[in-house]
């Protein structure tokens, strides 16, 4: 067994046992001894199959996330290509627009009447250099213009058109938030029908389903990262906050997720109305000590959570 296999097996057992615990205590109805892919809900009796369970990084590994959960290979691949790419690419663009040290940005350069493809490289000490290659440009035209180019000539720079699709960037934020909620609460919350909209959104990134205005950049310190309950009456939902870290920057993101109390469209709508009216308002978050409460194995905590959900749903 490789190190990766051991890790997969450990995560598999942790969430399988969580599912068993919930079933044994009649908190949910399901079949025992399974791991259910949080994205497509496919049931797995072990980590190997035609569509094996794979380590999933939430947030994406390239943005500082850790592989603490599993999704099936199909979901892992599809979401990676179709969704996560847009988030990593946007953060790269935001970084590069500031020309940080140790970076490389593709640009179009207009010299005279000709446009060439080039690269701007910023070195360790901040020195900025512009590169162009004969391979990516018309060699003769490039030669001609370069000969004419004198010191002090102003050249026009244009960034390449972004490949980022804004909606898909949002779905990537949604995916990371959702997987962090699964990591923390196991199966007690996500199997509820109020979460179907998230799974449908992640599996159908071409169609907008999840309400807009569900994410924001919280003005909080890094220590507040985690998944919280918003306990204000009528606004009950989950808030997942996490850092996205690149080589050059670090940003906090927050996303609202449903609870089995109110449909998420309603909650996000109300939260946005409130924000427009009041510009600033306080939300009651619970728990503030992220690591102190275990919702995977500790039956008393899980039961207390179910009691709270039931009371609020009335
Ligand atoms: Zn899946």
Please write the tens of the pLDDT for every residue from 2-51.
999 999 999 999 999 999 999 999 999 999 999 999 999 999 999 999 99
Q: Rounded CA gap, 47 and 44, in Å?
A: 7
Domain total in the chain: 2
pLDDT band for position 273 (50/70/90)?
A: very high
Q: How far is the CA of 44 from the centre of ligand 1 (A)?
A: 10
Domain boundary (159, 191, 210) is at 159
Question: Is 0.95 topped by the overall pTM?
Answer: no
Q: Rounded CA gap, 193 and 174, in Å?
A: 17
Q: How far is the CA of 148 from the centre of ligand 1 (A)?
A: 58
Q: How far is the CA of 203 from the centre of ligand 1 (A)?
A: 9
pLDDT of 270: 96
What range does the domain containing 263 cover? 3-92+165-313
Would you say 52 and 24 are in contact if contact means Cβ atoms under 8 Å apart? Answer: no
Asked if 154 and 46 sit in the same domain, the reply is no
Q: How far is the CA of 149 from the centre of ligand 1 (A)?
A: 56
Domain boundary (104, 130, 159) is at 159
Asked if 277 and 143 sit in the same domain, the reply is no
Q: In this predicted structure, which of 147-156, 270-279, 294-303 has the lowest mean pLDDT?
A: 147-156
Asked if 64 and 110 sit in the same domain, the reply is no
Asked if 116 and 103 sit in the same domain, the reply is yes
Q: How far is the CA of 65 from the centre of ligand 1 (A)?
A: 19
Q: How far is the CA of 41 from the centre of ligand 1 (A)?
A: 6
Q: How far is the CA of 72 from the centre of ligand 1 (A)?
A: 4
Residue 265 has pLDDT above 90, yes or no: yes
Domain boundary (128, 144, 159) is at 159
Asked if 224 and 309 sit in the same domain, the reply is yes
Q: How far is the CA of 38 from the centre of ligand 1 (A)?
A: 7
Asked if 34 and 174 sit in the same domain, the reply is yes
Q: How far is the CA of 73 from the centre of ligand 1 (A)?
A: 7
Residue 197 has pLDDT above 80, yes or no: yes
Asked if 286 and 236 sit in the same domain, the reply is yes
Asked if 35 and 68 sit in the same domain, the reply is yes
Q: How far is the CA of 199 from the centre of ligand 1 (A)?
A: 10
Q: How far is the CA of 251 from the centre of ligand 1 (A)?
A: 28
Residue 139 has pLDDT above 90, yes or no: no
pLDDT band for position 120 (50/70/90)?
A: confident
Asked if 32 and 136 sit in the same domain, the reply is no
Asked if 213 and 302 sit in the same domain, the reply is yes
Asked if 71 and 102 sit in the same domain, the reply is no
Residue 238 CB-density burial (10 A; 0-12 exposed, 13-18 middle, 19+ buried): buried
Asked if 81 and 136 sit in the same domain, the reply is no
Q: How far is the CA of 40 from the centre of ligand 1 (A)?
A: 4
Q: How far is the CA of 114 from the centre of ligand 1 (A)?
A: 49
Q: Rounded CA gap, 88 and 193, in Å?
A: 30
Collect all residues with Cβ–Cβ distance below 8 Å to 282 and sequence separation of at least 6. none
């Amino acid at each position: 067994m490789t190190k990766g296999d051991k890790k997969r097996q450990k995560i598999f057992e942790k969430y399988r046992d969580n599912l068993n615990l919930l079933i044994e205590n009649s908190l949910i109805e399901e079949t025992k001894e399974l791991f259910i892919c949080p994205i497509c809900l496919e049931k797995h009796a072990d980590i190997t199959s035609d569509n094996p369970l794979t380590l999933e990084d939430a947030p994406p590994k390239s943005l500082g996330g850790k592989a603490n959960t599993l999704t099936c290979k199909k979901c892992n691949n599809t979401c990676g290509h179709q969704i996560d790419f847009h988030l990593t690419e946007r953060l790269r663009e935001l970084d590069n627009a500031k020309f940080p040290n140790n970076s490389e940005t593709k640009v179009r350069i207009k010299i005279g009447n000709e446009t060439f493809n080039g690269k701007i490289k910023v070195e360790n000490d901040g020195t900025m250099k512009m590169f162009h290659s004969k391979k990516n440009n018309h060699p003769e035209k490039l030669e001609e213009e370069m000969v004419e180019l004198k010191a002090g000539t102003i050249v026009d720079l244009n960034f390449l058109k972004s490949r980022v699709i804004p909606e898909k960037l949002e779905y990537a934020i949604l995916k990371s938030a959702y997987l962090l909620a699964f990591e923390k609460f196991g199966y007690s919350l996500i199997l509820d029908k109020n979460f179907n909209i998230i799974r449908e959104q992640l599996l159908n990134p071409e169609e907008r389903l999840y309400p807009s205005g569900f994410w924001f950049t919280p003005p909080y310190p890094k220590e507040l990262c985690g998944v919280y309950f918003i306990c204000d009456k009528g606004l009950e939902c989950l808030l997942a906050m996490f850092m996205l870290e690149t080589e050059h920057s670090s940003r906090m993101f927050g996303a609202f997720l449903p609870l089995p109390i109110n449909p998420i469209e309603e909650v996000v709508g109300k939260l946005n109305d409130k924000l427009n009216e009041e510009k600033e308002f306080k939300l009651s978050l619970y728990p503030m000590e992220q690591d102190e409460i275990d919702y995977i194995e500790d039956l008393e905590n899980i039961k207390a959570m179910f009691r709270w959900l039931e009371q609020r749903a009335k």
